[in-house]
């Protein structure tokens, strides 16, 4: 499969004022040098606790938050280097779906009008066929036709996420970045939405970057997974590599907290001490050393390299 999106040494920092008079400029290092390639048609899960920087990766790709350094290329083209006109044409191809689609829907606009307007704007329909096109996309997302004239508040949580997905899909995207799209939903509804994501991928050859703090959701949907900690990627691999043979102590700790259906297989629960340190002044060496149960002298002094241990299973740990 071909690379669709290539992220190289991405850094996204936010300036914060500090010091006695607020005159010292320091930075929240939300994303601190990560590299990642997404292949056409795959579902890549980006996991980590809140504050790990995973949402910022998504926002940097769609340029909701500008990167500080590094490169992001879509189909080989630099998303930050291309002329504005070209970027505007390309934008619909990368869609971002949020945890709460309600926050990005205008409460006074019927959803059919909102979706239709976006399609017209991007030349994906004309006035003679826009209503049919909107109905098609609603139907594809499991929403009955009569919903076209409803307002956002008339939908339940699960339906609202279907509307969010329909709106993204109406743009005929290649890549969908979904940031915690099922986290606010009941477990039974989560399963329905995950099945919808699967169905749409089969029918539309979509590539997903699926951002979630929930490893059991990611395990159901994703073929490859990346684990972030404090702005850094600590491990990436296939689902089988990550779940069957996790190598980074942080990944092991996250996995140990996932409920396992068969008690015999239950892993020893690894409880991490302390909270995630501040991304303004992250720990030296391995950023995880303040919480790692296996940390030793070298971890404090030396940043572990992110290395491929074979078959694309990459890890950043001195012990791997
Ligand atoms: Fe733990 Fe050291 Fe490995 Fe970091 S490099 S994960 S502190 S053992
Ligand atoms: Mg987030």
Give me 76's structure tokens: 């080989």
Biggest CA-to-CA distance, the chain: 69
Q: For residue 94, which of 55, 58, 45 has the smallest C-alpha distance? A: 58
Question: Which of 234, 293, 297, 304 maximizes ligand 1 atoms within 8 Å of its Cβ, making it the mutation to test the pocket?
Answer: 304
DSSP 89-120: HHGGGEEEE-S-GGGGS-TTS-HHHHHHHHHH
HSE, CB side, 13 Å, CA atoms: give it for residue 119.
26
According to CATH, the topology of domain 3-315 is Rossmann fold (3.40.50)
Radius of gyration from C-alpha coordinates of the chain: 21
CB of 247 closer than 6 A to ligand 1?
no
pLDDT tens for the chain, 320 residues: list them: 889 999 999 999 998 877 777 777 789 999 999 999 999 999 999 999 988 999 999 999 999 999 999 999 999 999 999 999 999 999 999 999 988 877 778 899 999 999 999 999 999 999 999 999 999 999 999 999 999 999 999 998 899 999 999 999 999 999 999 999 998 898 889 999 999 999 999 999 999 999 999 998 899 899 999 999 999 999 999 999 999 999 999 999 999 887 766 555 556 788 888 888 998 889 999 999 999 999 999 999 999 999 999 899 999 999 99
Residue minimizing CA distance to atom 5 of ligand 1: 317
If phi > 0 it is left, if psi is from -120 to 50 it is alpha, else beta; for residue 33 that is left
Give the residue carrying structure tokens 């309600």. 102
How many other C-beta atoms lie within 10 A of the C-beta of residue 273?
Answer: 8
Residue 208 near residue 225 (C-beta atoms within 8 A): no
pLDDT value, residue 260: 66
ipTM over 0.90: yes
Residue 21 near residue 54 (C-beta atoms within 8 A): no
Cα separation, 314 vs 247, in Å, equals: 9
pLDDT value, residue 24: 74
Every domain of the chain and the residues it spans:
3-315
In this prediction the pTM is 0.93
How many other C-beta atoms lie within 10 A of the C-beta of residue 320?
Answer: 16
Q: What ligand 1 atom has the least distance to the C-alpha of 249? A: 6
pLDDT value, residue 194: 94
For ligand 2, a single-atom ion, the residues with CB < 5 A are 55
Cα separation, 67 vs 222, in Å, equals: 26
Residue 40, SS3 per DSSP: coil
CB of 230 closer than 6 A to ligand 1?
no
CB of 246 closer than 6 A to ligand 1?
no
pLDDT value, residue 103: 78
pLDDT value, residue 266: 59
DSSP state of 19: S
């Amino acid at each position: 499969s071909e690379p669709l999106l290539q992220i190289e040494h991405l850094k996204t920092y936010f300036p914060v004022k500090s010091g006695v008079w607020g005159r010292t400029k320091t930075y929240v290092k939300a994303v601190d040098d990560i590299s990642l390639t997404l292949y056409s048609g795959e579902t890549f899960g980006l996991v980590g606790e809140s504050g790990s920087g995973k949402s910022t990766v998504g926002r940097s790709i769609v340029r909701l938050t500008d990167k500080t350094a590094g490169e992001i290329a879509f189909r080989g083209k630099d998303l930050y280097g291309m002329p504005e006109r070209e970027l505007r044409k390309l934008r619909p191809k990368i869609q971002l779906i949020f945890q709460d689609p309600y926050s990005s829907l205008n409460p006074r606009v019927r959803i059919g009008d909102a979706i239709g307007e976006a399609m017209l704007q991007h030349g994906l329909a004309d006035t003679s066929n826009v209503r049919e096109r909107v109905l098609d996309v609603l139907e594809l997302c499991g929403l009955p036709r009569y919903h076209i004239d409803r307002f956002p508040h008339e939908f339940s949580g699960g339906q609202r996420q279907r509307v969010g997905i329909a709106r993204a899909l109406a743009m005929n995207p290649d890549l969908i970045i979904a940031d915690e799209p099922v986290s606010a939903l009941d477990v039974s509804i989560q399963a329905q939405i995950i099945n919808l994501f699967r169905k749409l991928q089969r029918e539309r050859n979509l590539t997903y970057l699926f951002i979630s703090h929930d490893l059991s959701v990611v395990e159901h949907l994703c073929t490859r997974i990346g684990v972030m900690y404090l702005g850094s990627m600590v491990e990436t691999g296939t689902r089988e590599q990550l779940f069957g043979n996790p190598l980074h102590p942080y990944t092991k700790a996250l996995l140990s907290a996932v409920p396992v259906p068969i008690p015999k297989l239950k892993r020893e629960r690894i409880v991490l001490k302390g909270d995630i340190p501040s991304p303004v002044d992250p720990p030296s060496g391995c950023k995880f050393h303040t919480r790692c149960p296996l940390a030793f002298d070298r971890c404090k002094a030396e940043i572990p390299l992110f290395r491929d241990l074979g078959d694309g299973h990459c890890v950043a740990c001195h012990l791997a």
